[in-house]
Chains A and B, each alone.
Chain A
Amino acid sequence: MDWMKQASISAQKSDAVFFYVFGLSVAFLLFITVLMIYFVIRYSRKRHPKAEQIEGHMGLEVLWTVIPLLLFLSIFYYGWTNYEYMRQAPRDAMEVKVTARQWAWSFQYPNGKQSKVLYAPLNKPMKLEVRTLDVIHGFFVPAFRLKIDAVPTHANTTWFQATRLGSYDIECTVICGVDHSLMLSKVIVVPEAAFKAWYFGGEDAPAPQPVAAPPQPVAPALHPAVALMTAKGCLACHSVDGKPMVGPTFKGLFGKREAVLVAGAARTVTVDDAYLRQAIQAPMKSVVRGYPPSMPVTPLAAKELDEIVGYLKTLK
């Protein structure tokens, strides 16, 4: 479905929770509806002339209090963790000032450049600081599953990382007067080179043209090593894109000089092939300073180890 296309990382995060709740909801609704219809037929006056006076059942009451509670809590937790990700911008995100007024949007980039539509480089994080000159507005990009209100005297922030080339609607979501529904703009996601050419190109640089998204595989073709590292649990604590997590990021790791603790003593090592292999197979031997000594040993076949190390070397 075209309108469900996910054009940012947060879109994937939001949709994952949506489909989790949606699945549970459909199951619950079907269960209740089928049960109601079954009871109405099975216990109709014709088939069941004498009602049984059942006052209740403590076990059942506990059951249908506790199970829904646990499910609701899981929804809360999943929704919260993915939301946290959606709200915390990476440090290297380009910061764009978004200004809302009745009834238009404008965007100002770090070097002072301004535009009426938002230009964004593909696969680069962009942080938005949203302000308003008059009443409350709502900044909404459906394709990014991104929304933040522009509230007077407050500077609200949000961020996104576009994962798909194309041109996407920006809509105002808080009633702000007669032309509320015309307070529209676009996010135009372009390749980084095209963005840079415009951004550094002085006042006369032509605006980058929206490139239609490649017609086929929208799902980024995952490197096989990424799939492997997801399966082995590596990516639960390490990122491949520079995002800070429990453990150090893999991005730019190879060739870097790291301060480590070896048996309590501080050392400096250069991350090379041998170090990577040791860090994976015997993680407690040397722990990068500033990170908890908590990485478990993960059994890997020799071929798998080669594949992961080979991939890590490519993450510049």
Chain B
Amino acid sequence: MSTHATTGQPSYLVDTGARKGLVAWLLSTDHKRIGLLYLGSMVFFFFVAVALGFVMRLVQLTSFEHLITAQTYNALFTLHGVIMVFLFVVPGLPAVFGNFFLPILIGAKDVAFPRLNLASWYFYMAGAAIVVIALFTGGGAPDTGWTFYVPFSLRTGTNVGLAVFGAFILGFSSMLTGINFITTIHRMRAPGMGWFRMPLFCWAVYSTAWIQILATPILAITLVLVILERAFGIGIFDPAKGGDPLLYEHLFWIYSHPAVYIMILPAMGAITEIIPTFAKRTIFGYKAIAFSSVAIAGVGSLVWAHHMFTSGLSQFAVMTFSLLTMIVAVPSAIKVFNWVSTLYKGSIDFQPPLLFALTFIFLFCIGGLTGVMLGALAVNVHVHDTYFVVGHFHYVMFGGTGFAFFAALLYWFPKMFGKMYSKKAIYASWFPLFIGFNMLYFTMLVLGVMGMPRRYFHHLPQFNTGHEIATVGSWFLVLGLLMFFGTLVHALFKGEKAEDNPWGGVTLEWTIPSPPPQENFEEIPTITTGPYHFPQESQG
């Protein structure tokens, strides 16, 4: 494919309309600018939640125990969870890279509903603002954990009502984005781009969008019921009034388990884009990867009660949900095999995005395999609600989604900003990130097997050593994060100008200038090949 070296249009980063500066950004309906609005706000919230986690780790060093009170600690892990889950990982890749690249990858000028897209960001910011206000008003920061289990969340005097309302508003952002993406994919693909010529990131975002639309309303209803229960005592969940706390657990996880797949599917999609570009060959098993995304979205909606194996479910329910949990592991395994096979007989150009993509595969495998352990009933009875679970979901959410987010950022950064970062500095940041990550979270897995329950301010003395190792790991991890984002921020201002196609990719975003022009394409391309078609003559 030919590259357009120059174009008549100015870059999307240049203000050309009547509005200038900040106003032009805040009122922009350009999908690329909205993507960057999300990126900026999300990285900010990510670092806020990292700071909370850092303090939690510090307190687990026995000698620092009296730094804060138990009540503050309970607020810390609640906020860390709420901010990471609802403000970073759930919107995560779709809101940033989905917004920025989905239209470009399918050869469109924008998403189907650009104004709705901007409205989604405002819903996101409004929800975030309400969550922040909830920390400092009412009875103080919520202390229930991000799961808000009743009846504790009904009894606590802290500001659960407002925090839950914030999460409710955030749900709208998620649903509206989902509707937008589905419509965009159905209606706005370039001529010649059949479903199986779409880049696989689009398949992942598409599957995710369906979960967002179908599962998020259940969370919204559940949260409204919690608010009504707290305000008026309607007796849906409150056992004292004839309600059932297990009903809450079911409703909460009917959303929140699929939400895990909302978090991981787009990450898998990004990895699927990165590997062929650096292996210089077509993806192995296109359809297997595409359908496994759909299968994860489908079966993943039916496994929620594996969060409740010890809650007293019937034997039949326990058996069924354990079985379904095992089945949902299969499509993830299929993806891993296809990614690794895509390296086979490639011509691998090893670059930072590939390093982070392969690190994703390694860490995600540990996350997935510990998930299988949790799904095995006899093991679950032991490790449920311990640090094993904490370690497991950090491997999936941070080692998985987080590292995929970093990989995607490294991959698309030159395209988004037209600047190239220092590859050496990124490689240097990988070491503390990787070492710190495993020191922190693998130790948590071990602590969990030893019997360390989650959400504990004090811990028993037999866990001292483990906590010390984990805390030191968290220092390396934070150091790595600062180096990583420091390098990117430096590149933003001082980086060299990036080429239009620095990695030699063949998907559509690499056919347009870096940074992309306002309307993306000079003329809408006509698609004649699959997405990862590397012309043979251009190699060697």
Contacts and interface: CB of A to CB of B under 8 A. Distances in A.
Interface of A: 3-4, 10, 13-14, 16-18, 21-22, 25, 28-29, 32-33, 35-36, 39-40, 43-45, 48-57, 60-61, 64-65, 68-69, 72-73, 75-76, 78-80, 82-84, 86-87, 134-136, 138, 140, 142-143, 145-149, 151-154, 156, 169, 171-182, 184
A79 B151 contact: no
B250 interface: no
B237 to A, nearest CB: 10
Contact of A176 (B152, B358, B536): B152
Nearest to B246: A151
Given A44-B350, A182-B458, A147 B280 contact: no
Nearest to A168: B451
A24 to B, nearest CB: 8
B174 interface: no
A94 B534 CA distance: 71
B379 A69 contact: no
A53 B281 contact: yes
Given A79-B375, A175-B144, A51 B451 contact: no
Interface in B357-402: 358, 361-362, 365-366, 369-370, 372-373, 375-382, 384-386
B323 A173 contact: no
B239 interface: yes
Interface in B330-347: 330, 333-334, 336-338, 340-341, 343-347
Given A18-B373, A21-B372, A3 B70 contact: no
Given A14-B381, A147-B310, A135 B453 contact: no
Contact of A178 (B143, B285, B380, B539): B143
The 6 closest A-B pairs by CB, nearest first: A142-B451, A79-B376, A83-B377, A152-B239, A173-B385, A181-B456
Given A39-B348, A181-B457, A134 B151 contact: yes
Nearest to B324: A76
Contacts of B279: 43, 51
Given A14-B379, A80-B322, A84-B315, 17 more contacts: A3-B462, A10-B381, A14-B382, A33-B365, A39-B340, A43-B348, A45-B280, A48-B347, A49-B347, A54-B284, A65-B330, A76-B325, A134-B151, A134-B155, A147-B382, A152-B240, A156-B311
B460 interface: yes
B149 interface: yes
Judged by DSSP, the binding face of B is helix
A151 B205 CA distance: 38
Interface residues of B, number: 89
Contact of A76 (B326, B382, B451): B326
Contacts of A78: 376, 378
B281 A174 contact: no
A76 B323 contact: yes
Of the listed residues B310, B329, B384, the one surrounded by the most CB atoms of chain A closer than 10 A to its CB is B310
Contacts of A29: 362, 365-366, 369
A49 B282 contact: no
Nearest to B377: A83
A182 B536 CA distance: 66
B468 interface: no
A101 B338 CA distance: 51
Contacts of B373: 18, 21-22, 25
B225 interface: no
B54 to A, nearest CB: 20
A32 to B, nearest CB: 6
Interface in B115-133: none
A68 B333 contact: yes
Contacts of A13: 378
Of the listed residues A69, A153, A179, A180, the one surrounded by the most CB atoms of chain B closer than 10 A to its CB is A180
A51 B281 contact: yes
Interface in B493-540: 534, 536, 539-540
Contact of B345 (A52, A72, A152): A52
A184 B458 CA distance: 11
A65 B454 CA distance: 34
B316 to A, nearest CB: 11
B145 interface: yes
Contacts of B285: 55-57, 60-61
Contacts of B453: 138, 140, 171-173, 181
B257 interface: no
B71 interface: yes
B341 A60 contact: yes
Contacts of A147: 310, 381-382, 384-385
A82 B380 CA distance: 11
Given A28-B365, A147-B382, A79 B322 contact: yes
B431 to A, nearest CB: 16
Contact of A79 (B341, B378, B455, B462): B378
B379 A55 contact: no
A80 B325 CA distance: 12
A178 B330 contact: no
Of the listed residues A33, A140, A151, the one surrounded by the most CB atoms of chain B closer than 10 A to its CB is A151
A299 to B, nearest CB: 33
Interface in B264-312: 279-282, 284-288, 310-312
A86 B454 CA distance: 23
B179 interface: no
A115 B241 CA distance: 30
Contacts of B358: 36, 40
B451 to A, nearest CB: 3
Nearest to A143: B451
A36 to B, nearest CB: 6
B3 interface: no
21 contacts: A3-B450, A3-B462, A21-B369, A25-B373, A43-B343, A44-B350, A50-B536, A54-B341, A69-B327, A76-B322, A76-B325, A83-B378, A136-B245, A145-B381, A145-B382, A147-B310, A151-B311, A151-B312, A152-B240, A171-B453, A178-B71
B15 interface: no
Nearest to B463: A3
Contacts of A45: 280, 347-350
B74 interface: yes
A140 B282 contact: no
A149 to B, nearest CB: 5
A188 to B, nearest CB: 16
B230 interface: no
A58 to B, nearest CB: 9
B291 to A, nearest CB: 10
B284 A151 contact: no
Contacts of A22: 373
